Amino acid sequence: MAFNIIEAKREHVSLILHFIRQLAIYEKMESEVVATEASLASHLFDQQSAHCVLAFEGETAVGFALYFYNFSTFLGKQGLYLEDLFVSPAYRAKGYGKQLLLYIAKQALNCGCGRMEWSVLNWNQPAIDFYERLGALPMHEWTVFRLSEEKLKLLSATK
């Protein structure tokens, strides 16, 4: 069966949210999903602060990848950050994840990016193995920090 990678459009927003929820279930983080169709439509299609591509097998959507651009001060050029990559369990090990990643890697090169980065949960060995097979290197010397929206509000209120 033939498969396609396409740029998501506004009419795909419910499908994107579906994949986000499926990813959250897989990552045991379902309760953290507060995104709505309206918030996704606003950020993906009105503000264009992130981009999404979808993988299809025939007419069936089988996965997605969501990314945005950042900037590296050391390189002096933009980079691409892959926020999420997900393929439905029934379609894994068929090349969809690799095709999504290749599509985004080409986007990074076409936009003059100096690098492409992403995070993976430490327990997700299948994903780690997949990324390493493609030549990606783990950045063990870095620790990810996060300020939630609540913490951002508290921090910004300090004097």
pLDDT in tens, 72-104: 999 999 999 999 999 999 999 999 999 999 999
What pLDDT shows up at residue 1? 59
Stated pTM of the model = 0.92
Catalytic residue among 67, 81, 96, 131: 131
Domain map (residue ranges) of the chain: 3-156
The answer to whether 131 is a known catalytic residue is yes
Q: 58's torsion region: left (phi>0), alpha (psi -120 to 50) or beta?
A: left
Most distant CA pair in the chain: distance in Å?
Answer: 60
Query: 3-156 maps to which CATH number?
Result: 3.40.630.30
Q: How is the beta sheet containing 60-72 ordered, strand by strand?
A: 3-7, 51-57, 60-72, 77-87, 116-118
Q: pLDDT, tens digit, for every residue of 104-154? A: 999 999 999 999 999 999 999 999 999 999 999 999 999 889 888 899 999
Q: What is the pLDDT of residue 128?
A: 94
Is a pLDDT exceeding 90 seen at residue 2?
no
Q: Please enumerate in sequence order all residues whose Cβ is within 8 A of that of 101, keeping only pairs 6 or more positions apart, or say none.
A: 65, 82, 85, 134
Could you read off the pLDDT of 9-42 as tens digits, one per residue?
A: 999 999 999 999 999 999 999 999 999 999 999 9
